[in-house]
């Protein structure tokens, strides 16, 4: 099912003629007085002539601009591409995320070519890593359901990075990590982009097994009979209205002598009609993406396993299809969740928190050092933070490091509070709590609901926990930008990998 897109990454230094490609990409920034040609491997004479013609060519240096001109003989490439990096900040070097986006944008727009050489400024190995990551994410396409590929451009297959660090001993691990990150992000995108006719609970579980092949991970699947028998009332309550019954998938990477133990819980609603509380028809097709959280935590674990990090990481994929039928849960039903708490379902379209609650309880029973859940949970997240910034809520000991990891990875997250006055709005007259509460600040209300299911550690304290709401940034309905294509973005994989790396560094 998962036909992943991967790019081959390499690096060179010195003469470009020794490694000719189809296109050479150099950077242009927006300076206070107009476009500025950035550091590049061209001869001084060629660079000076090119810089003088930028305005005439209509090159501005704006982000996402990729202006093509005929190649220069000294480069060996048929096309020279002037890639915009955006506004320059005085003498400040380009940020890693700026380089990541510029590389990704150029590679994305050069689809149809086989080999692209990126000659963006790299002042450190971290800069090289950013360029490589951007390229790996830019080289993506999703065409498996097209009956004909006529008119479609295949993504770039080979990316060569021109850098002074080409002979550095630390380069190969940098390129290998970038390739793994790109693979994980692109696999997440492909799962999210799948139509619900093809990706449903059973096939999602099969995809998890398929993607895990060759990696030191263990995959365990709960089918509807086992879920019913063991009391996973949230997952069963949401999924029982569909002819395609729910699944819980556990993906465990447990290396010897693990320095820490992290649990990841992902929302996997393969399609969300809203159930009996049915959604409006307009835009409902986007609800194929309501399983993005589960795709994220799955591919995060696989990336960490591929990197061989000595940290135990377990993903819990809470998978169901939310459909209206004679078997579906009704408003006013009471569900007994895994672990015994009861929830009154006041709105069947607040279903994600129900499946996630079961997963959080299951994760808690293994006493991890931290639990992080990822979900396309609320429309309120878009109202609060827009289309590109995820909200993170929970214990400061987890949300702070997550924000730092996101900053390092180049992803946008913003910490939000969990005001105590929101909890009483979840009180129910007939059960332990209701599945909806205060509408204003609904992103935070949903997180307060999830917090009720976080277990205690062996000392009796609540396990450190954080919730990431990715309803907006996980799916791009606008124009492509940077390394992001239309539809699935694969966001949060990079943040979680960086978080685990930071946890490992802190234990060293």
Residue 168 tokens read as 């550095």
Please enumerate, by residue number, every residue annotated as part of a binding site for Mn(2+).
267, 272, 290, 349, 351
Whether residue 17 is predicted with pLDDT greater than 90 in this model: the reply is: no
User: Crossing angle of helices 171-193/493-507, nearest 10°?
Assistant: 140
Distance CA(399)–CA(414), nearest Å, equals: 9
pLDDT in tens, 28-68: 999 999 999 999 999 999 999 999 999 999 999 999 999 99
* Rg, C-alpha atoms of the chain: 24
Question: Is a pLDDT exceeding 90 seen at residue 505?
Answer: yes
Which percentage of the chain shows pLDDT scores above 70? 100
Tell me what pLDDT residue 485 has.
97
Asked if 314 and 368 count as a contact pair (C-beta separation under 8 A), the reply is yes
Residue 451 is a catalytic residue: no
Please write the tens of the pLDDT for every residue from 388-433: 999 999 999 999 999 999 999 999 999 999 999 999 999 999 999 9
Of the listed 100, 108, 244, 353, which one is catalytic?
353
CATH topology of domain 183-507: Aminopeptidase (3.40.630)
CB atoms within 10 A of CB 281: 8
Mean pLDDT of the chain: 96
d(CA 393, CA 333): 28
The catalytic position among 279, 388, 423, 486 is: 279
Task: Please indicate whether residue 279 or residue 18 has the higher confidence score (pLDDT).
Answer: 279
The pLDDT, as a whole number, for residue 1 is 65
Q: Are 86 and 63 in contact (CB under 8 A)?
A: yes
pLDDT digits (tens, 9 = 90+) for 473-500: 999 999 999 999 999 999 999 999 999 9
- Predicted confidence (pLDDT) per residue in 200-213, tens digit: 999 999 999 999 99
Q: Which of 47, 28, 25 is nearest to 87 (CA)?
A: 28
Angle (CA) 173-175-180 rounded to 5° is 95
Domain topology for 8-163: 3.40.220
Residue 91 scores a pLDDT above 80: no
Binding-site residues, please? 267, 272, 290, 349, 351
Instruction: Give dist(CA 346, CA 262) in Å, integer.
Output: 32
Q: Note the pLDDT of residue 92.
A: 80
**Is position 353 annotated as part of the catalytic site?**
yes
CA dihedral 238, 262, 407, 266 (to 10 degrees): -10
* Least confident piece of the model among 8-17, 186-195, 252-261, 468-477: 8-17
Separation between Cα atoms, residue 297 and residue 291, nearest integer Å: 11
pLDDT at 15 over 90: no
Cα dihedral sign, 317-318-319-321: negative
Give the mean model confidence (pLDDT) for residues 225-241: 98
Mean pLDDT, to the nearest integer, of 145-165?
Answer: 93
**Tens digits of per-residue pLDDT, 316-338?**
999 999 999 999 999 999 999 99
What's the pLDDT tens digit per position in 281-315? 999 999 999 999 999 999 999 999 999 999 999 99
> What is the residue extent of each domain of the chain?
8-163, 183-507
Percent of the chain with pLDDT over 90: 94
102 touches 63 (CB < 8 A): yes
pTM: 0.97
The residue with greater pLDDT, 14 or 344, is: 344
435-464 pLDDT, tens digit each:
999 999 999 999 999 999 999 999 999 999
| Cβ atoms of 71 and 24 closer than 8 Å | yes
Judged against a pLDDT cut of 80, whether residue 69 lies above it is answered with yes
Q: What is the pLDDT of residue 320?
A: 98
| Cα 486 from Cα 499, distance rounded (Å) | 26
Is the confidence at residue 90, as pLDDT, over 80?
Answer: no
pLDDT tens readout for residues 259-281: 999 999 999 999 999 999 999 99
pLDDT in tens, 3-14: 777 899 999 998
Q: What is the mean pLDDT of residues 161-173?
A: 96
67 within 8 A of 82, measured Cβ to Cβ = yes
* pLDDT score for 184: 98
């Amino acid at each position: 099912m998962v036909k992943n897109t991967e790019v081959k990454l390499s690096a060179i230094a010195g003469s470009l003629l020794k490694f000719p490609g189809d296109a050479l990409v150099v950077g242009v920034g927006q300076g206070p007085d107009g476009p500025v040609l950035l550091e590049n491997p061209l001869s001084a004479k060629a660079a000076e002539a090119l810089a003088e013609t930028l305005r005439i060519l209509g090159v501005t240096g704006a982000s996402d601009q990729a202006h093509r001109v005929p190649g220069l003989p000294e480069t060996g490439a048929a096309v020279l591409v002037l890639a915009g990096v955006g506004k320059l900040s005085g003498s400040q070097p380009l940020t890693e995320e700026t380089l990541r986006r510029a590389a990704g944008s150029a590679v994305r727009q050069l689809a149809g070519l086989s080999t692209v050489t990126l000659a963006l400024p790299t002042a450190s190995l971290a800069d090289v890593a950013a360029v490589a990551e951007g390229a790996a994410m830019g080289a993506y396409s999703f065409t498996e359901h097209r009956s004909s590929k006529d008119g479609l451009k295949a993504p770039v297959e080979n990316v060569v990075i021109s850098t002074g660090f080409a002979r550095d001993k630390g380069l190969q691990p940098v390129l290998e990590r970038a390739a793994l990150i790109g693979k994980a992000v692109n696999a997440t995108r492909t799962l999210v982009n799948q139509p619900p006719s093809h990706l449903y609970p059973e096939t999602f579980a099969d995809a998890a097994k398929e993607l895990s092949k060759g990696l030191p991970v263990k995959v365990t699947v709960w089918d509807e009979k086992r879920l019913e028998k063991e009391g996973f009332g949230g997952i069963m309550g949401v999924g029982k209205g569909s002819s395609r019954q729910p699944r819980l998938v556990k993906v465990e990477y447990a290396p010897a002598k693990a320095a820490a133990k992290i649990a990841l819980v992902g929302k996997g609603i393969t399609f969300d009609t809203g159930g009996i509380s049915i959604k409006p028809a307009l835009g409902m097709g986007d609800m194929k993406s309501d399983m993005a959280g589960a795709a994220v935590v799955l591919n995060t674990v696989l990336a960490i396993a591929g990197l061989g990090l000595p940290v135990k990481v377990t993903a819990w994929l809470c998978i169901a299809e939310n459909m209206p039928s004679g078997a579906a849960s009704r408003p006013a039903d009471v569900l007994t969740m895994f672990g015994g708490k009861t929830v009154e379902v006041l709105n069947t379209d607040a279903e994600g928190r129900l499946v996630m609650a079961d997963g959080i309880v299951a994760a808690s029973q293994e006493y991890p050092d931290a639990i992080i859940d990822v979900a396309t949970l609320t429309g309120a997240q878009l109202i609060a933070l827009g289309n590109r910034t995820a909200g993170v809520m929970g214990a400061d000991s987890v949300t702070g490091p997550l924000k730092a990891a996101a900053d390092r990875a180049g992803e946008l997250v913003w910490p939000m509070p969990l005001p105590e006055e929101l909890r009483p709005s979840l009180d129910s007259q007939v059960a332990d709590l209701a599945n909806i509460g205060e509408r204003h600040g609904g992103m935070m209300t949903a997180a307060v609901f999830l917090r009720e299911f976080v277990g205690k550690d062996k000392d009796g304290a609540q396990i450190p926990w954080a919730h990431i709401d990715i309803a907006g940034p996980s799916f791009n309905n606008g124009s492509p930008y940077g390394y992001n294509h239309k539809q699935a973005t694969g966001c949060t994989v990079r943040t979680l990998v960086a978080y685990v790396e930071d946890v490992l560094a802190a234990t060293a």
